[in-house]
Chain A
Amino acid sequence: MQDSYVTADGRTIGATVMEMKNITLRFGGVTAIKDISFDIREGEVRAIIGPNGAGKSSMLNVINGFYHPQEGEVWFHGKRRHEMKPHQIAKQGIARTFQNIALFKGMSTLDNIMTGRLTHMKSGLFSQMAWWGGAQAEEVANREIVEKVIDFLEIQAIRKTPVGRLPYGFQKRVELGRALAAEPKLLLLDEPMAGMNVEEKEDMSRFILDVNDEFGTTIALIEHDMGVVMDIADRVVVMDYGKKIGDGTPDEVRNNQDVIDAYLGVAHD
């Protein structure tokens, strides 16, 4: 177990939360991830970068249990995690957003974010049918938490708007809100800034840093925009063709020859 340390901007990075050991994932004959190991420490912003098709999204899908690796071990909070369904993993405190927005189109912003609270809501079907006592109290208590998320993300005005009608940037924000509402121990972000303009990217970076700073949430994110990644990440994993080619602080990665080759191409003579 490593010691915790304090970053330059005053955040405390704690012990290892999640550790991937020698993960290999295949689809039929295609190997998407080859023997990758890395760890995520408590309170840090961990980025996974790499060119298209490097296996980044597959990696995220392994972390939250949507894909099951053929080889390797996943350790979470010091215990080996056995093969589980995604919804069980969500209940352990891992929440995520998606590359292509996966909001519930038929529901309002408020209802979408309320779905993030589902893992915390325990009242039974019959209590809900009657809608007094447990069910209503629980609904109101969870609504308060959701309202805090709505305030945090500055989306009060679209609370009751069906999400299908929202512009892209807002949809991304609502999706982040849904994941935040779950109060996750580990938050996975799959290209949170894809397709955004500069201002929207700035907003989103600010939200990500604030989440990390204010709630101490551990974050693992995939991103294409190198500039953004280097600015907000504490440590970076670099993937290429399913293999890990670099791992370390942004500065270390920036100077890694393999990484430079992968991104800029190598001259073959």
Chain B
Amino acid sequence: MLYREAGDFKTSYAKDQQTFPIAFDRWGYFITIAFAVLVVPFILNDYWSNAVILPFLIYAIAAIGLNILIGYCGQVSLGSGGFMAVGAYAAYKLMTAFPELNIIFVILLSGGITALVGMLFGLPSLRIKGFYLAVATLAAQFFLVWLFNKVPWFYNYSASGQISAPERSLFGFVVTGANAHPATSYLFCLGFVFVMAWAARNMTRGANGRKWMAIRDMDIAAEIIGVDPLKAKLTAFGVSSFYIGIAGALLFAVYLGAAEVGEAFGIEKSFLILFMVIIGGLGSIFGSFAGAAFMVLMPVLLKNIMVGQMSWPTDLASHFQFVIVGGLIVIFLIVEPHGLAQLWRLAKEKLRLWPFPH
């Protein structure tokens, strides 16, 4: 089976607009999903689940969310950490106030609450543009973290100021708390990732995505051809925050189990997600996955090599991590502003013509 589109004629506009127009890609996609659902749960162990797989899945959701805002709608936000905190604290309050509520609804509602908060902080985007807006979103970051730290109601007056996730089950399987099996947590997150990535892809390829991209590419022209900038920007902030909020809720409830706001959702988290989006590729759903995978795997790899193999002290490895991440950001912005996703696209272009490139 060769990587070709020749002979694969599209007979309707619907088929022309599908996500994977090349048969080979379609099969690759089905096989990946089958592998993720049918094989991974049985070979997953605690280490892989905690160090790589769970954070990858959860950050992928956050990266898709931020990519919708930055990559598609062109509004830079440095407040992702704060919005993840909203998701996490909303999940905590919902779980403790309504113990009967199904965990899926808890997560979705947390996303919804974050979407509202995100839209509130998105309002200034109407008047403020570019990095003025980026700086303005820092207000959200610092204010939200301060709020969850200072108002005891948010952490139910616990002495440590921490929040911790009570045990909740879905179809009889424990998904949150200490007793959750790695495979259940994994499948639970995978379900969210699958549905949300699919929804994001649909939103961005249709009328809505075009509105966002029109605002991103030239906001004045977009308004003149009939895009309401307020609505377009606010939906972008809302949808983006919904994703980020869900990621925050999952990070807290499924992955961390317990969290302290300044530590888990500080400004570093905002940058981490921003880097995932830049390295992965602005304006690409696939890129969000690639970026999340890269930023999760790279430190693990560095640590394994430097600390594990060469037995260097841990802090040296973490310094190297800074140097490498920073360097890569600069290199990617210079060489390939569209990130890993673009490299992947270029590779596929080559592959389509291989082995006769002329």
Contact = CB atoms under 8 A, between A and B. Distances in A.
Are any A and B Cβ atoms less than 8 Å apart in their complex?
Answer: yes
B318 interface: no
A128 B203 contact: yes
B299 to A, nearest CB: 31
A264 interface: no
Chain A's interface size range is: 35 or more
A108 B211 CA distance: 14
A128 B224 contact: no
Given A104-B218, A111-B213, A128-B206, A140 B14 contact: yes
B122 to A, nearest CB: 15
Contact of B227 (A107, A118, A179): A118
Contact of B214 (A66, A115, A140): A115
A130 B199 contact: yes
A118 to B, nearest CB: 6
Interface in B190-244: 199, 202-203, 206-208, 210-211, 213-214, 216-218, 220-229, 235, 239
Contacts of B216: 104, 106
A118 B211 contact: yes
A85 B239 CA distance: 25
A123 interface: yes
A98 B218 CA distance: 12
B213 A118 contact: no
Interface centre among B206, B223, B229 (most CB of A within 10 A): B206
Nearest to B221: A102
B210 A115 contact: yes
A105 to B, nearest CB: 5
A66 B211 CA distance: 19
Contacts of A179: 225
Contacts of B239: 125
Given A125-B235, A128-B207, A182-B225, A102 B220 contact: yes
Contact of A91 (B218, B226, B283): B226
Contacts of A111: 210, 213
Contacts of B202: 128-131, 135
A179 B225 CA distance: 8
Q: How large is the interface on B (under 10, 10 to 19, 20 to 34, 35 or more residues)?
A: 20 to 34
A24 to B, nearest CB: 22
B13 A106 contact: no
Among A128, A144, A182, the one with the most B-chain Cβ atoms within 10 Å of its Cβ is A128
B179 interface: no
Contacts of B220: 66, 102
Contacts of B309: none
Given A90-B226, A96-B224, A143-B13, A104 B213 contact: yes
A107 B206 contact: no
B12 interface: yes
A261 to B, nearest CB: 35
Contacts of A182: 225-226
B210 to A, nearest CB: 5
Nearest to B195: A129
A161 interface: no
A106 B228 CA distance: 19
Nearest to B235: A125
B217 A104 contact: yes
A121 B226 CA distance: 11
A119 interface: yes
Contacts of B229: 87
B12 A140 contact: yes
A114 B223 contact: no
Contact of A64 (B12, B17, B208, B224): B224
A129 B210 CA distance: 14
B208 A125 contact: yes
Contacts of A116: 225
A114 B239 CA distance: 22
A87 B217 contact: no
A104 B214 contact: yes
Select the residue from B13, B17, B239 with max chain A CB neighbours within 10 A. Answer: B13
Contact of B225 (A85, A106, A118): A118
A87 B228 contact: yes
Among B12, B213, B216, B283, which residue has the most Cβ atoms of chain A within 10 A?
B213
A73 interface: no
A83 to B, nearest CB: 15
B210 A107 contact: yes
A32 interface: no
A102 B218 CA distance: 7
B227 to A, nearest CB: 6
Contacts of B283: 106
Contacts of A123: 206-207
A47 interface: no
A192 to B, nearest CB: 16
A169 interface: no
A85 B223 contact: yes
Given A64-B224, A102-B221, A115-B211, 15 more contacts: A87-B226, A87-B227, A90-B225, A103-B218, A103-B221, A107-B217, A114-B210, A115-B214, A118-B211, A119-B225, A125-B235, A129-B203, A135-B206, A140-B12, A182-B226
5 contacts: A107-B213, A114-B210, A128-B206, A140-B14, A182-B225
Interface of A: 64, 66, 85-87, 90-91, 95-96, 98, 102-107, 111, 114-119, 121, 123, 125, 128-131, 135-136, 138-140, 143-144, 147, 178-179, 182
Interface of B: 12-14, 17, 199, 202-203, 206-208, 210-211, 213-214, 216-218, 220-229, 235, 239, 283
Closest 3 interchain pairs by CB?
A90-B226, A102-B221, A104-B217
